[in-house]
Amino acid sequence: MLATIASATLLGVEGRGVWVEVHVAKTGLPRFVMVGLPDAACRESRDRIRAAVINAGLRFSGSEVVTVNLAPSGLRKSGSALDLPIAVAYLVASGQLKASAVESVGLLGELGLDGTVRGVRGALPLVEATQAMRVVVPAENAAEAQLSNREVLVGTNLADVVSALSGDRFWPDPPDLVVSPVAPGPDLSEVRGHRLARKALEVAAGGGHHLLMLGPPGSGKTMLAQRSVGLLPPLDDVRGAEVIRVHSAAGSLFGLGAADSGPAGVGPLRCDAAGELVVTAPFRAPHHTATVVSLVGGGSSQMRPGEVSLAHGGVLFLDELAEFPAHALDALRQPLEDGSIRVSRAHASVSFPARCLLIAAMNPCPCGAGTPERCRCSEPALRRYARRISGPLLDRFDLRVRVEAMAPEDLVDAPPGETSAAVAERVAQARGAARRRGVSANRELSLAELEDHTRLTPEARAVLDSALRSGRLSGRGMARVRAVALTLRDLDGADGTLDAPTMQVALGLRAEVGVALAAVA
């Protein structure tokens, strides 16, 4: 007998509808065959299903020919979310459950050997891709599944799912959707002094320009970086939905697998004062011991997004940049450039969104003294340190500023800085100007578009030419300074004519990065 059930599989952060077909024949050589491009985790489901069915008090005869077909056959099926639909389809095909019980019901979930229905990553995109109006999901995923427009049925274990499908018992109530309210983040007004670094932060947010801060330990780099995300404009619906899908695919939206979603694994979903759901821009700060896979995404079985994707729509903060392994930083270059990352393994290749603002911080040298006079580092040690940050990576930072430790008396005397809200208004204005140029931030403008949208006064051109002649700027660097200058104009609400003073400020935000890094700047 043949049974067909709707389900889905995860491809990157997108769900793809899958039809699970199970055929059971009583005659022939007993076996359990699965076809339709299942991956390793998916193939192993045979053993989980057999144990789960038996432990649920149902029958799994070893003498049948069971054929499982996962359609469409050309689509690779990954992970364990197909366990539950395969098990239920088997029960229908083997005559233990009426076919009418599964009509217009989709199912998703991993099975434990004891029949428990376990949560899966990507529940929201999976539910949305399932071609059924009612979908049975694991209890762990029920909150997240309610963000879809489907009727959510909660499955806790196989035996209960089977009795509820047969109408012998009620489905458990789905849990209430509990989302923390939007909390005000740390405010820029708490940062005293640091005029240049504050400016750099504003330009970074306004133009999407990646920022590198150099300064000794305790100079306030982390404090500044943490305030960057509060300057970004609210996410629009499209970007917000992308952010939600990424966090769902990582299992971090409602804490599933929170242990492996990184130290800053807090979901981006919040509710506002009116109780409406809002998606906040994420701030991710992976430690320098993070693996390449956890930074850029991948994994041996089911591919999951990395930190650069979890920061999509928000900020990726890399503290102690020079301590990250060189190959990890190299792997970040392409996604930072393209706004997405393609992760390939022998059997498959998926793409994750990765449009984030990169803010990095590092000590100017290994001893962290900050100034050449106080530095105790040897010449070779400085050279080794400088080599950690490759030229091409350094090139991704349009903004490079030094953050000096402030004297205690300066901290006390300095007036409180401008609030995040005041700066965010200018940032929103600059982003609006960028949108009118057809990009979401000025950093994305090509050289030709920059030429189109900026006019240089003769004095401004002279400033650039002199920086070029003195070797301070490369040709590429010149274009980047121009983009930063345009952002400065946008933040001021001025037109795109770049004058000499603006150009000087832009150049000042691309400082030669001091003691050790001058050699590679």
C-beta of 269 vs 365, nearer to Zn ion? 365
At 342, phi and psi to the nearest 5? -100, 120
Q: Count of CB atoms within 10 A of residue 293's CB?
A: 16
Q: What is the DSSP string of 453-511?
A: H-EE-HHHHHHHHHHHHTTS--HHHHHHHHHHHHHHHHHTT--SEE-HHHHHHHHHTB-
Binding map of Zn ion across residues 343-372, x = CB under 5 A, - = no contact:
----------------------x-x-x---
At 232, phi and psi to the nearest 5? -75, 150
Q: How far is the CB of 228 from Zn ion (least distance, A)?
A: 27
Residues constituting the chain: 521
Binding map of Zn ion across residues 473-512, x = CB under 5 A, - = no contact:
----------------------------------------
Count of residues near Zn ion by CB under 5 A? 5
C-beta of 179 vs 381, nearer to Zn ion? 381
C-beta of 278 vs 369, nearer to Zn ion? 369
Binding map of Zn ion across residues 11-50, x = CB under 5 A, - = no contact:
----------------------------------------
Q: How far is the CB of 394 from Zn ion (least distance, A)?
A: 19
Helices marked H in 130-218? 142-145, 158-166, 195-207
C-beta of 99 vs 381, nearer to Zn ion? 381
C-beta of 217 vs 392, nearer to Zn ion? 217
Question: Interface residues for Zn ion in 199-218 (CB under 5 A)?
Answer: none
SS3 3: strand
- Candidates 223-231, 374-382, 394-402, 505-513: pick the segment binding Zn ion (CB under 5 A): 374-382
Q: How far is the CB of 363 from Zn ion (least distance, A)?
A: 8
Q: How far apart are CA 455 and CA 447, in angstroms?
A: 13
Amino acid at 413: D
Binding map of Zn ion across residues 375-414, x = CB under 5 A, - = no contact:
x-x-------------------------------------
Comparing C-alpha atoms, which of 221, 515, 513, 289 is closest to residue 381?
515
Q: How far is the CB of 368 from Zn ion (least distance, A)?
A: 7
C-beta of 369 vs 406, nearer to Zn ion? 369
Q: What is the DSSP string of 228-283?
A: TGGGSPPPPHHHHHHHHHHHHHHT-SS-TTGGGS-TT---SEEE-TTS-EEEPPPE
SS3 210: coil
Q: How far is the CB of 261 from Zn ion (least distance, A)?
A: 36
Q: Decide: is 258 part of the binding site for Zn ion (CB under 5 A).
A: no
Q: How far is the CB of 511 from Zn ion (least distance, A)?
A: 18
Q: Rg of the chain's alpha carbons, rounded to an integer?
A: 27
C-beta of 344 vs 378, nearer to Zn ion? 378
Comparing C-alpha atoms, which of 368, 34, 459, 399 is closest to residue 197?
399
C-beta of 188 vs 517, nearer to Zn ion? 517
C-beta of 222 vs 371, nearer to Zn ion? 371
Q: How far is the CB of 215 from Zn ion (least distance, A)?
A: 13
Q: How far is the CB of 378 from Zn ion (least distance, A)?
A: 9
Q: Count of CB atoms within 10 A of residue 250's CB?
A: 27
The answer for 64, left when phi > 0, alpha when psi is -120 to 50, beta otherwise, is beta
Q: How far is the CB of 395 from Zn ion (least distance, A)?
A: 24
* List of residues contacting Zn ion (CB under 5 A): 365, 367, 369, 375, 377
